[in-house]
Amino acid sequence: MNKVLAFILMLLPFVVAAQTTVNIGSVHGNNVYIVMKKNSNKPDYIRIPIETSDAKEASIHLKVSDASKFRGLIFEARMKYMEWVKVAEENDVGDFSKDLPVKFPWTDFFFRIGDWHYAQAKFKLMFVKKDGVCVARYSDGVHKFGNQYITAYLHYTFYGEEDFNEWLDVLSHDNIQSKLADATNYDLDKKKNNVDYNKLFN
């Protein structure tokens, strides 16, 4: 990744502050927003808050165009989690942990320690049974892009099927489309927004 791109990534969090946001729901009681492109009514990305132990705040930044694929992986993780919960209960499994076999892509994260910092990591979920309770947990120490000495420990726990359903509801196409239409009149399904039709007839 070249120096120009690295500089742009460094500035992204500051640009966000001036951008319009659309609330599309919540996970763990924290609002999830679509951030609109600057000076435009077009959606840019989805900001999903996650927990952090040593930063002031942190979030996943997901392109709106990638929401459907990411949602599909959350659905896959939910199904495997529920399957393993049943296996654990039927076999009286004790304390146990294993990565869920769901391959998430590299994901963009932002975390704030003083300034905002950008990092990229895999959103890998682990099935954990501890003291009779089964959860699916993401946890990772991520590094600021270009500076491995600035790190943050990020984590998020799905305590049950309902927590997965919150993500599925928020990231559903119908929900995103409805919230965007209500707030900005943007049509997510319209393929030819702002087309100059004169250019089609030469």
Asked whether residue 191 is assigned to any structural domain, the reply reads: no
103 three-state secondary structure = coil
Asked whether residue 51 is assigned to any structural domain, the reply reads: yes
Distances from the Cα of 94 to the Cα of 16, 133, 161, angstroms: 45, 10, 20
Asked whether residue 195 is assigned to any structural domain, the reply reads: no
Tell me, what's the pLDDT at 195? Answer: 43
Asked whether residue 190 is assigned to any structural domain, the reply reads: no
Which residues, in sequence order, are bridge partners of residue 45?
A: 35, 63
As a whole number of angstroms, the distance between CA 20 and CA 49 comes to: 17
User: Per-residue pLDDT tens for 67-90?
Assistant: 999 999 999 999 999 999 999 999
Asked whether residue 193 is assigned to any structural domain, the reply reads: no
- The total number of structural domains that make up the chain: 1
What range defines the domain where residue 130 resides? 3-185
Asked whether residue 125 is assigned to any structural domain, the reply reads: yes
Tell me, what's the pLDDT at 42? Answer: 85
Distances from the Cα of 111 to the Cα of 48, 56, 152, angstroms: 12, 7, 7
Asked whether residue 133 is assigned to any structural domain, the reply reads: yes
Supply the pTM of this predicted model.
0.82
Asked whether residue 16 is assigned to any structural domain, the reply reads: yes
